[in-house]
Structure 1
Amino acid sequence: MTNSHQITFSHEEREELLKILKTRFEKNMNRHDGLEWAKIQEKLDADSEKLWSLNEMERTEGEPDVVGHDKTTDEYIFYDCSAESPKGRRSVCYDREGLESRKKHKPENNAMDMAGAMGIELLTEEQYRALQNLENFDMKTSSWVQTPVDIRELGGALFCDYRYGHVFLYHNGASSYYGGRGFRGSLRV
């Protein structure tokens, strides 16, 4: 999770973020039919760490939005809803091991460490497919998704995109990175 020294942003930044999130929420009711912004904001106001994570999602151009509500835990679920894989999170290997295995042309970071530092999780394949049921995303880019241990132990990692009216799941070496591949995150508040 995040370090407490990172969770500092001004009152003005906080208010600006809440305004952005509320506007996005109201413009995209198809993503969260039946949910009320006031209840979501109440949760956000009570958890500055989660609000900071949403700020990081926004800062890296993920355009986070509410995609559901878990009634069992009373948590609201945010996913990155940018049309393409977030610009501020592209050109990264899957994880630290993949990054460290590169002999040359290493990217600056990796998806798993970035997500951890932001206090979010990479989408799973199931979550990615659920997101695509709301709208079409990643029609030009692709996004790393959580990779099962057995695949990762063999050096691979998984990513998805949306082409030809379908979600595609692919594999690549975890050390690979491309300008058009980033990652989408999820956060429960």
Structure 2
Amino acid sequence: MRALGRPSTSSSDFDLNPEFELPEGRKLRAAGVLVGFVERHDGIKLILTKRASHLKHHPGQIAFPGGKVDEGDADVTAAALREAHEEVGLHPDMAQVLGHLPSHETVTSFQVTPVLARVSPEFSPIPEPGEVDEVFEVPLHHIANPANFQIQARRWRGRKRHYFTVPFGPYYIWGATARILRGLADRMAE
């Protein structure tokens, strides 16, 4: 992907909210997410998950497979591949890592590194029911088009907070996932 070679800066859940003051000395936890693309008969698709509705944090939200870096992980790439294996049954041998997008800071104090990978067309997802309600695919052309993104707002901690969304069918893709995808769309549009 030529988009990987284009320069860009890191992003944040606070990009659209410059009035929010980030705490000094905040500690961010490293995390890796797999931005996995798979070629299907009808085009290239992006693999996403719908988080389990019973989870304590972010229940039912749309997310990339991934999570925090554990002690046994060599780096964010290893974390993303391990989590994708745990959450959606993607064996690391079925993912060819292409590179990384700039990191993204979340309101939940994670420094998320998106790991781009080409996924084997033989991959058939197996959602881990403790973490994932559903695995689905979104056409690359949908998320590559900046016109499909919207800016919406909600009240958060007593203030209005703006964020990106990129709805697809019944799926409301928003927050950090949509912000990372918007960064990818901007890079691909250049």
> 1 or 2, which has the higher helix percentage?
1
TM-score, length basis structure 1: 0.27
TM-score, length basis structure 2: 0.27
> 1 or 2, which has the higher strand percentage?
2
